[in-house]
Structure 1
Amino acid sequence: MTCAISVHAQQILGCRDATPAEATLYSTPMMMPGVISPKDGTCFIKDLRILTHDGLKLAANVFLPATGTSGQASGPRFPSLLYISSWASAEWFEYLGQQHRMARAGYVSLSYTTRGFWNSEGTVGVAGEEDVRDVSSAIDFMLAYTPADPQRIGSAGISYGAGLSLLGAAKDRRIRALAALSGWGNLADQLYGNDVPNPTWLGILTASGQMLGRMDPTVLSFARIALNPDATQQQARELKAWAALRSPSSVVNELNARQPAIFIGKNWQDDIFSPNSTLAMFSRLTTPKKIMLQPGIHASVELGAAVFDKANPVWDEARRWFDHYLKGVPNAIDTEPKVTLKTKFGNVVETLPDWPAPELRSESMWINPRGAVRYDESCQCTKGQTGSLSAQRGAFGLDTINNALDTVATTGPMPVLSATLEAKGLPVLAQQNMILRDQGVRYEGPVQAQDMRIRGAPRIQLRVRPSQSRGMLVAYLYDVNPSGWGTLITHGARAVHWAKPGEGIDFSFDMNAIAYDLPAGNRLALVFDTKDHLYGVPVRFGEAFSMTIEAGDGVSALTVPVRPIH
């Protein structure tokens, strides 16, 4: 048989038995496509072409389970999984390990490369309408040419494939269960959250998209708008509207109406698709649902096990999910807590019944000003270097910083690598006493009498006075030990582009969600500066600005979601 199958074929894909010589040499299905494995009975067929609704061809492959390789249309039907490729990835490598694993478990496992990448025709539209319709075309193909059971179809994907799995399930009722790993909730929040672009990851995405795919010019134009400090308000609105159409959070009502069982995996240090918008979307879902959150950068936890056939906590849980909702296995995953999380650094695994969890409470601290530098006889110490995070409101004051220099406060000195090392247990540190006073300001809380278990997104209630129409603050939350060394807990940023100079404005925003245990004897510190490689500045190179923080008198505050210690 030939492995180059067109959608005009009129029979179920089948495989042949291995010859005695082939059985002796057999190692993996990928080495002998079209041949039934003498080891486990599965079969791998490559070089398939899925015909889309608009006449394009998408590259695909399929693993067939044992007893599903005969090619007989009258044979048994199997639960089936559609794997959707990540950004700039391809079907010929990305999910081979998981596909084979699930085929051994009795699933038809078909993978395809999204349009515009590698050998799939068309242009990259970033989860646009055509990309979403391709999900249905792939299901059509799977039902027509494999022994897939139309009542037991699931989808899975990492990153780009995760978003398309969710968007596809909102449009196609045939998807009964899905696993969305390292995906996004609201794309606008990820590309231009709080009016701040992400130049590091936008650069990676556009460069890889142009190198390994054929990008729609519209996509590149919106990337340029996001990074352009001179973009107009109308352009910013158009960018957000374009992103909204590509956001699973915008189709929650459709998902709730169709009720697919939704499994989500997210990594805390995912700086391209932070957990916040996914958690917000998850809280609105009324479908059967479950989410796992753990340390890791974008796709780092899932990708290796997707490519290679090996056990993995997230994929293993996804398999339990599919076994229950597509096979009917009574494994109790439907009655387990909806949230499983692993803490940053501590590797403590916890569960919560839902999100937001009823047992979490908010702990608020007022942001009080540092004031002028002065020597205080009452404590024989210098004051004015730091402000405070306190249960008591201090006197009103103004703390001004400028963007002349960066400070030692950072999301990591090395883009991507620092977050990768942090996910492996190597923290990002900053000596708090080295933070430049003119370019940064820190607010310290009291020494903790007991551990503080932070669970979720810290919220900053803030008022500022920009010196000009545009400016930015980057916020860092630290765990500070008695020696003054701060371990980065989480971070966030917000920019302003069209402010009235000198006028006070609300500048509140959420930091990235995290699970972190602050030990007794240490203290929280909130640091602001105006520069970080992860957050694109809203000004031209060399353009000066200052940001004045209104503090004290209950104007500004930090609220931290915590899990009480009983």
Structure 2
Amino acid sequence: MRIPSLLSLPGIALRLGLLGLCLASTAANAELCRSATAAEAASYSTPMQSPGIVSPIDGTCWIPAMTITSFDGTKLAANLFLPKRSSSDQKFPAIVMIASWAAPGRVEYVGQQQKLAQDGYVVVSYTARGFYLSEGLVDVAAPEDVRDVSSVLDWLQANAPIDINNVAASGISYGAGLSLIALGQDPRFKTAVALSGWATLADQLYTAGSPNLTWATILGLAGSVTGRPAPEVNQNILALLDPNTSAAKIADITTWAKPRSPSSYIAAINQRNAPVFFSKNFQDDMFTPNSSLAMFSTLTGPKKMLLNAGIHASAEIPGALLGVANYPYDQAHRWFNRFLKGEKNGVDTEPKVTMQIKFTNRYESFSNWPAPELGNQTYYLGPRGPIRFDLSCFCGKGDKGTISASLNKTTDSDLIQNFFDTTATSGLIPILSTLGETVNIPVINSLPTVSLAAGVRYEAPALLATQKIRGIPKLNLRVTPSQARAQVVAYLYDVDAIGTGILITHGATTLHWAAPGQTIDFPIEFSATAYDVPAGHHIGVVLDTADSLYASPVNPGERFGVRFEFNPNQQSTLTLPTL
């Protein structure tokens, strides 16, 4: 039997007949969407080309330009995707998606919204307060922003066919943080899916006292161009970047940041055992994985953490905007199905943490975090000392210090000063360099080129077997700053036989009110990573006083020195979490 082409006259008749059945089954969407005319049905291709019309293909409908009035009268720009509806009393699980900082909510998630609607979800997305067409001021996850999330759910409950007992909050970046806070404050949200978000805001803006110059500048500019920031927002950003800001002002900003931090609502989330899904990216220098891992470790309900290659939001955006096959969103979709539809798909019984190994397409899973499958390999740093010729080995010394599995037995110190930056860097071009890592283009440095005056390097012997680093490496140093303000940036490298290093990860710690000349403990936490150092290569660490990511703690032209102290009685250590 010959099946008529849908472009032939019999085919068009067949298509219109099917359309009649489709429209009959989706008539309950009529309150928000209208039925297609015969001509519209014949030419229908995608919801984006035919907004507000019930699809004759899958019964979904997209309403692209809605306005939702929030609790205080503020109007929020939104869009809505509806699933195929079989009867007027049919209800669906629902997802409230909150836009990222400086992103239009009517566009950002449209690809993922369509996929979820095709799978039977009502999905609303809105632009956060103060950005683009949404009224109000941008105030960084303030109480008003969180109440907006609930107001959008109020609107859904009143106007869309949702099952109020099965609702999630979700978003990328700014939307991720608001989703987690909303989960902690509005019990109607059953779960949250937070992608590239933050946990403790102060930890991200001022990590170990190190102001995030690059990303704070980008956030400030983007917020001012696309939105209307509240005065305190840019004032706080400028204060964090200013080396002369007082300790009292920093304390005020930390207090301001606390209610804007999802980690402040852990007890409320745990009290009702609410399920939480995280996706984070290893090269995310805006919101490093460390803070979210700390929050994740304290959650007691069902939870999942993905750690992907990528910079801020880069792993998730293709799935959000285009709806393409995408690991973070594919796993998030399974999470929605488990907790909003009740599907027994195993996502909640699988290992809780999954890491993508850097520069590979391989993933490894761990039962929880901290991961019991991992151990700590502790190394001891030894000083480089003065430049000298050592007759015992008939070789020059003083160009580098040591990293060894044995205790350091030498008492000495290594001095660096902030004359200039060294060749060690988180990336020659901020953001673009780390974005290159996502397509297997590493940040590379020749360690012998590190200036002896402005930096110091420490290197270990060649490895006999592959070393699998999984998690957060840590340095514990002893330092003597020359003045009250100082900064040390640490870089962890995979180094080959000729001294070429591939950057594994980096971290920084900054002093603002130290006692000059007083030796103190000085921990540096690297950003979490998953990396395999091959046999024959070795671990290297470079310490210097500056990186383009971080604001300097001193004024232009102001000098400081940092002396690293070594003593057999107080070891300086590098701890690597290894598999």
**TM-score after normalising by structure 2:** 0.93
- The structural deviation recorded for 1:542 is 1.1
SS in 1 for 2:150: helix
Asked if the contact 1:430/1:485 (under 8 Å) is kept, the reply is: yes
Task: Please tell me whether residue 238 in structure 1 is matched to residue 256 in structure 2.
Answer: no
8 A Cα contact 2:484 2:513, kept in partner: yes
Match of 1:437 in 2: 452
The corresponding residue for 2:220 is: 206
Name 1:253's counterpart in structure 2: 267
Partner residue in 2 for 1:81: 95
Q: Which amino acid aligns with 1:61?
A: N
Structure 2 residue identity aligned to 1:311: A
Taking the aligned partners of 1:13 and 1:316, their CA distance within structure 2 comes to 31
**Residue from 81, 99, 118 that aligns with 2:113:** 99
Report the Cα offset of residue 378 of structure 1: 1.7
- Any idea what the Cα deviations from partners look like across 1:9-28, whole Å, max 9, x if unmatched? xx984322211111122121
Q: Would you say the 8 A contact 1:166–1:180 is kept in 2?
A: yes
Pairwise CA distance, 1:523: 0.7
Distance 1:535 1:463 in 2: 22
Counterpart-to-counterpart distance in 2, 1:260 and 1:119: 32
For 1:114, the equivalent position in structure 2 comes to 128
Matched, 1:283 2:301: no
Which residue type is aligned with residue 102 of structure 1? L
Aligned residues of 2:352 and 2:368 also touching (Cα < 8 A) = yes
Aligned equivalents of 1:394 and 1:244: distance in 2? 44
Q: Summarize the alignment of residues 322-341 of structure 1 with structure 2, pairs less than 5 Å apart.
A: 322-341=336-355
Question: Counterpart amino acid of 2:62?
Answer: F
- The whole-number CA distance in structure 2 between the counterparts of 1:485 and 1:534 is 22
Instruction: Encode CA deviations 1:40-61: one digit per residue, 9 max, x unaligned.
Output: 1100113222221111111111
- TM-superposed deviation, 1:513: 0.6
1:295 and 2:313 matched: no
Query: Hey, what does 2:499 align to over in structure 1?
Result: 484
* 1:493-532 CA-partner distances (Å, limit 9, x unpaired): 0111111111111211211010011111111011100011
Q: Are 1:455 and 2:464 matched, yes or no?
A: no
Aligned counterparts of 2:323 and 2:514: Cα–Cα separation in 1: 53
Question: How many angstroms apart in 2 are the aligned matches of 1:411 and 1:326?
Answer: 41
Contact 1:12 1:147 in 2 (8 A): no
Secondary structure of 2:190 counterpart? strand
**2:572 matched to 1:556?**
yes
Task: Say whether the 8 Å CA contact 1:199–1:536 is kept in structure 2.
Answer: yes
**1:371, 1:384 within 8 Å by CA — same for their partners in 2?**
yes
Conserved? CA contact 1:12–1:144, under 8 Å: no
* C-alpha separation in 1, matches of 2:32 and 2:246: 57
Q: CA deviation at 1:91?
A: 1.9
Q: Is the 8 A contact 2:92 2:162 kept in 1?
A: yes
Residue type at the aligned position of 2:462: V
The 1:27–1:159 alpha-carbon spacing in structure 2 relative to 1, beyond 3 Å, is same
Q: Distance in 1 between matches of 2:400 and 2:30?
A: 71
Q: Number of aligned pairs?
A: 549
Alignment correspondent of 1:19 = 37
Deviation at 1:450, TM superposition (A): 0.8
Letter aligned with residue 366 of structure 2: L
Distance 1:331 1:59 in 2: 35
Deviations along 1:407-434, whole A, 9 cap, x unmatched?
1100010011000001211011110111
- The 3-state SS of whatever aligns with 1:337 is coil
Write out the 4+ residue segments of structure 1 that deviate beyond 4 Å after TM superposition. none
Specify the SS of the correspondent of 2:234: helix
In structure 2, what is the Cα distance between the partners aligned to 1:32 and 1:495?
A: 54
| Aligned residue in 2 for 1:3 | none
Cα distance, 1:12–1:495 mapped onto 2, change above 3 Å? farther
Tell me the amino acid that sits aligned with residue 455 of structure 1: R
The equivalent residue for 1:413 is 428
Residue of structure 1 in register with 2:13 after alignment: none
Of 359, 365, 378 in structure 2, the residue corresponding to residue 351 of structure 1 is: 365
Q: Are 2:266 and 1:266 aligned?
A: no
The CA distance in 1 between the partners of 2:193 and 2:362, in whole Å, is 23
Equivalent residue number for residue 16 of structure 2? none
Residue 394 of structure 1 deviates from its aligned partner by 2.5
Q: Is the 8 A contact 1:294 1:341 kept in 2?
A: yes
Equivalent in the alignment of 2:55: 37
Which residue does 2:211 correspond to in 1?
197
**Which residue of structure 1 lines up, in the alignment, with residue 240 of structure 2?**
226
Deviation at 1:555, TM superposition (A): 3.0
Contact 2:407 2:571 survives alignment (8 Å): no
| Aligned with residue 230 of structure 2, among 216, 233, 241 | 216
Residue 49 of structure 1: SS of its match in structure 2? Answer: strand
RMSD: 1.2
State whether structure 2 residue 304 is matched by structure 1 residue 316. no
Equivalent residue, structure 1, for 2:5: none
Residue 198 of structure 2 corresponds to residue 184 of structure 1: yes
Instruction: Give, in whole Å, the separation in 2 of the partners of 1:530 and 1:427.
Output: 22
Q: Distance in 2 between matches of 1:246 and 1:173?
A: 18
**What letter corresponds to residue 46 of structure 1 in structure 2?**
P
Residue aligned with 2:149, SS? helix
Q: Which amino acid aligns with 1:560?
A: L
Q: Indicate conservation of the 8 Å contact 1:346/1:517, yes or no.
A: no
Per the normalisation by structure 1, the TM-score is 0.95
Residue of 379, 382, 389 corresponding to 1:365: 379
1:534 is matched by which residue type in structure 2?
L
From 167, 180, 196, the counterpart of 1:153: 167
2:510 aligned residue: 495
Of all paired residues, the percent bearing the same amino acid is 48
Q: Which residue of 1 aligns with 2:64?
A: 46
- Structure 2 spans left out of the alignment, 5+ residues: 1-28
Take 2:562 and 2:572, find their aligned partners in 1: how far apart are those partners? 14
Larger radius of gyration: 2
Residue 65 of structure 1 and its aligned partner are, at CA, apart by: 0.3
Taking structure 1 as reference, are residues 470 and 13 closer, same or farther at Cα in structure 2, changes over 3 Å only?
farther
Query: d(CA) in 2 for partners of 1:173 and 1:309?
Result: 29
Matched residue SS, 1:249: helix
Match of 2:75 in 1: 57
Amino acid of the residue matched to residue 110 of structure 1? V
Structure 1 residue ranges without an equivalent (≥5): 1-10
Range with bigger deviation, 188-197 or 543-552: 543-552
Is 1:516 the counterpart of 2:531? The answer is yes
C-alpha separation in 2, matches of 1:356 and 1:155? 26
Report the AA paired with residue 67 of structure 1: R
The CA distance in 2 between the partners of 1:47 and 1:438, in whole Å, is 59
List per-residue Cα deviations over 1:299-358 (Å, max 9, x = no partner). Answer: 001112211121111101100011011101111111100011111113321100000011
2:487 to 472, 475, 481: 472
1:528 matched to 2:546? The reply is no
After the TM superposition, which residues 134-145 of structure 1 pair with which residues of structure 2 at under 5 Å, given as runs?
A: 134-145=148-159
Q: How many angstroms does 1:99 deviate by?
A: 0.5
